[in-house]
Chains A and B, each alone.
Chain A
Amino acid sequence: MSRPEHIAPPEIFYNDVEARKYSKNTRIQSIQAEMTERALELLDPEGPSFILDIGCGSGISTAIAESFGHTLVGMDISPSMLSVALENDEVEGDLLLGDIGAGVPFRAGTFDGVISISAIQWLLNADKTCNVPQRRLTRFFETLYSSMKRGARAVMQYYPESDTAQRMILETAKKSGFSGGTVIDNPDSKRQKKYYLVLQAGGIRTLDTSEMSVEDDNNKNHRLKKRKKQDMSVKDYISHKKELNRRRGHSVPRDSKYTGRRRKTAF
């Protein structure tokens, strides 16, 4: 499937036509609702909370979170989507037009929790030459971290385009001070696989990972190493092995111009 990020920047892609789909299309609505409920389950807020909804769009996720008794603030970059949210009249909380890549404009310690449904993958797009994805990610996570109460949690569902993108997002979040990881639902199904970034901003409330299929960091490192080995040429690999063994004090044949050369076929 083509990714909307490749077509146009979010404020242009989600035009009136695209935004209309979010109020009419029941399939989109049911998927969004399902993901919101799962995100709220992972968020596990204590009592009625003040929650930020990043990329609230037409307000599907905002309305659902409100039905649980929370007070919401929704943020989105597309005016068309926000006007659909206004028309729907289901959202009670505040909406605001803003670019998360330029920072979350709230003072320190504002929110008890943050949810986001299918939004943060847009941060990795460089639609203009002045946009540097890494800089936008860093700015986003740093301001998000400071805008959350200590011990508050952020659950963000997103569609990572590649392993690199996923790693980049998680690493930036960790550098900004968050702890946490990625929860993957339905890991075996290609279509229904869903990624939830679960982050915690300081505090002592422990993250219960027993029921989550958290991707192991060690495992990932292992795979990376393996790939690195595959990328080496035969000669590099041999000299790498010889060097290792030399360092360990084993007796190793000396290097010559024939090292790592392919033998001639016999006849």
Chain B
Amino acid sequence: MKLLTANFLTCASKKCSSSPDAFPLNISDAKIAIQECEMNPEFIKNVMLRVEWPALVKTTQQLGNNTLPMEKPELTDESDELLFKSLHNVLLETEITEGKMTCGSCGHVYPIVEGIPNMLLSETEV
């Protein structure tokens, strides 16, 4: 799972939908892989408007990387390619292959296996 997706994923339970603790999901025991893919600056510009930067910083810190700045970088047409490249690297190329995501509100643990998060809930949790 890419960090981009992790930045948008919330707890699937109905009870947690209004709780501020349900986002972002806390990641633990994670294994990371770098999967290279083609960069699309236009897409990054488009999606960066919606990325929750504090949540992304929190996620990367949980993965053991403290190099991200606390302030969200501003993207303009003149932004240099290096910024795009590093954002592309963080958002789209970094993948969590194994691990656990825990909801901060209800405590449900969503396992990630082979890069696929299991968001299924049991009948009583829906």
**Binary per-residue interface labels of chain B (5-23) against chain A in the complex, 1 for a CB within 8 Å, 0 otherwise:** 1001111101001000001
- Decide if A202 is an interface residue (CB 8 Å cutoff): no
- When the two chains form the complex, which single residue of B5, B12, B23 contacts A73, counting CB atoms closer than 8 Å? B5
Choose among A47, A92, A102 the residue that contacts B37 (Cβ–Cβ < 8 A).
A92
Q: How far is the CA of A110 from the CA of B9 in the complex (A)?
A: 9
Q: Complex: how many Å from CA A94 to CA B91?
A: 12
CB distance A102 to B46 under 8 Å? no
How far apart sit A70 and B37, CA to CA, in the bound complex (Å)? 13
Within 8 Å by CB of B8, from A69, A83, A102, A106, lies A106
* Residue A98, interface by CB 8 Å: yes
- Nearest B residue to A46 via CB reads B46
- Of listed A49, A94, A128, A149, residue having the most chain B CB within 10 A: A94
Taking the complex as formed, is B83 at the interface, i.e. its CB lies under 8 A from any CB of chain A? no
Contact with A along B36-54 (1 / 0, CB 8 A): 0100101100110010100
Contact present for A50 and B119 (CB under 8 Å): no
Q: Give the A-B pair count, Cβ closer than 8 A.
A: 84
Please determine whether B114 and A86 come into contact, CB atoms closer than 8 angstroms: yes
Contacts A48-B46, A50-B47 given; does A102 touch B121 at CB 8 Å: yes
- In the bound complex, residues from chain A placing their C-beta under 8 Å from that of B47 are 50, 71
A96, B42: Cβ atoms closer than 8 Å: no
Cα-based distance from A128 to B124 in the complex (angstroms): 13
Question: Would you call A103 and B14 a contact (CB within 8 A)?
Answer: yes
Residue A95 lies at the interface, judged by CB distance under 8 Å to chain B: yes
Interface of B is mostly: loop
Cα(A107)–Cα(B12), bound, Å:
10
Would you call A82 an interface residue if the criterion is a C-beta within 8 Å of the partner chain's C-beta atoms? yes
* Contact of B118 with A by CB under 8 A: yes
From residue B108, how far is it (CB to closest CB) to chain A in Å? 11
The distance in angstroms between the C-alpha atoms of A94 and B92, with both chains bound, is: 10
Which residues of chain B from 21 to 76 have any CB-CB distance to chain A below 8 Å in the complex? 23, 37, 40, 42-43, 46-47, 50, 52
With beta carbons under 8 angstroms apart, the residue of B23, B50, B119 that contacts A97 is B119
Question: Counting CB contacts under 8 A, is B106 at the interface?
Answer: no
Say which residue of B9, B114, B121 sits within 8 Å of A99 (CB atoms): B121
Instruction: Report the interface size class on chain A.
Output: 20 to 34
Which residue of chain B is the closest to A77 with respect to CB atoms? B120
Q: Are B8 and A94 in contact (CB under 8 A)?
A: no
| Residues of B within 8 A of A (CB-CB), count | 31
Q: Which residues of A contact B4 (CB under 8 A)?
A: 71, 94
Instruction: State whether the Cβ of B82 lies closer than 8 Å to any Cβ in chain A.
Output: no
- Chain B hits for A106, CB < 8 A: 8-10
Q: Within residues 11 to 37 of chain A, which ones have a CB less than 8 A from any CB in chain B?
A: none
Residues 182-207 of A, flagged 1 when their CB comes within 8 A of B and 0 if not, give 00000000000000000000000000
Known A92-B37, A96-B116; contact A107-B8, beta-carbon cutoff 8 A: yes
- Check if B77 is an interface residue, CB within 8 A of chain A: no
Evaluate contact between A103 and B12: CB separation under 8 angstroms. yes
User: Is A53 engaged at the interface, CB distance under 8 Å to the other chain?
Assistant: no
CB distance from A133 to the nearest CB of B (A): 14
A174 partner residues in chain B, CB cutoff 8 A: none
Write 9 A-B pairs (CB below 8 A) sorted by A numbering: A47-B43, A48-B43, A83-B114, A86-B114, A95-B115, A95-B116, A96-B9, A96-B118, A107-B52
Further 16 A-B residue pairs, CB within 8 A, beyond A70-B43, A71-B92, A105-B9: A48-B42, A50-B47, A50-B50, A73-B5, A86-B115, A86-B116, A94-B115, A95-B115, A97-B116, A97-B118, A97-B120, A103-B14, A105-B10, A105-B11, A128-B123, A149-B50
